[in-house]
Amino acid sequence: MYPGHRGDRGRRLWRWFLVWFFVTAAVLVIGLVIEQAVSPRPADHWGEPPKASGPSAVPATRTPPPATQTASPFATSTGGPSLTGPVHVVQGRQLVNGVYLGYPHSTVGAVSAADEFLTAIDSTLDPDRAAAVMRLAADPSYANGPQQAAAGVVSDRKNLGLPAGGAVPQGASVETDPAEYQVRDVSPDRVTVLLLCDFVTTLPGQGTQTKAGVFPVSLHWAQGDWKVLPQARADYESLSADPDSPRAAGLGWQQLEPAGG
């Protein structure tokens, strides 16, 4: 065999190798493009807007099985509860404009603050009163908290068939009475407190009606106290039950014992 013939064969083999290499690379690139195009994208961070689980004026975060032991005051996990069993609500150290402030830096302190703030904001049909309470309770980052609290009361008035503004009609009232609690997303400086409440409405000519509702309150430790945050979107309708009922116990609700009680 002539040396030139061997050279021609080598060149042909080299050309076939280059063709094979570029075809293989092109197939891999096309495959990656197709995979990227059909892969599912992450869900929207905020999800769908929550369904109303109670006529709450506190602006609107998984249901674990009920725990049987009380854990430490705080937990680093963002999953299930870190506090179980009956909680004796503590009273804030300072009374300002009819609202107790100054709660312990603990989960019990957060539950107690949520009980106080929710009761004060959701037991009035006066938008100005709700805004005044929120000015005391809102986190520094929650600048429009007072306006949202007032808007929540206006919405409640409309839902009850009352005028949106002006004086509250004589004989009309609302009262929110927290009876049981759960906690979520517990860390040293943030807690979401769920409160199972009796929401009592009294209207002229209609008497008094009571219904149960779940009211979430997200709190942040700031300025030496627990402060209200905007509520993340979540639906707690499936946790609704009559307080102190077997269903409530099965859903993990724990008793609240009033301050001074």
* Cα(163)–Cα(160) distance, integer angstroms: 9
* Cα(30)–Cα(11) distance, integer angstroms: 29
The band of 259, judged by pLDDT with boundaries at 50, 70 and 90, is confident
Mean pLDDT, rounded, for 188-210: 96
Token output for 214: 């779940």
Evaluate whether 231 touches 58 at the Cβ level (below 8 Å). Answer: yes
Mean pLDDT, rounded, for 183-201: 96
Is CATH 3.40.50.2020 what the domain over 87-257 is classified as, yes or no?
no
> According to the 3-state scheme, what is the secondary structure of 95-121?
EECCEEECCCCCHHHHHHHHHHHHHHH
95 forms beta bridges with 100
The band of 233, judged by pLDDT with boundaries at 50, 70 and 90, is confident
Residue-by-residue DSSP string for 126-186? -HHHHHHHHHHHB-TT-TTHHHHHHHHHHHHHHHTT--SSSSPPTT-EEEEEEEEEEEEEE
User: Tens of pLDDT along 137-178?
Assistant: 999 999 999 999 999 999 999 999 999 999 999 999 999 999
User: Tens of pLDDT along 67-121?
Assistant: 333 333 443 333 344 688 999 999 999 999 999 999 999 999 999 999 999 999 9
Poorest-pLDDT segment among 18-22, 39-43, 101-105 = 39-43
Residue 95: the pLDDT is 98
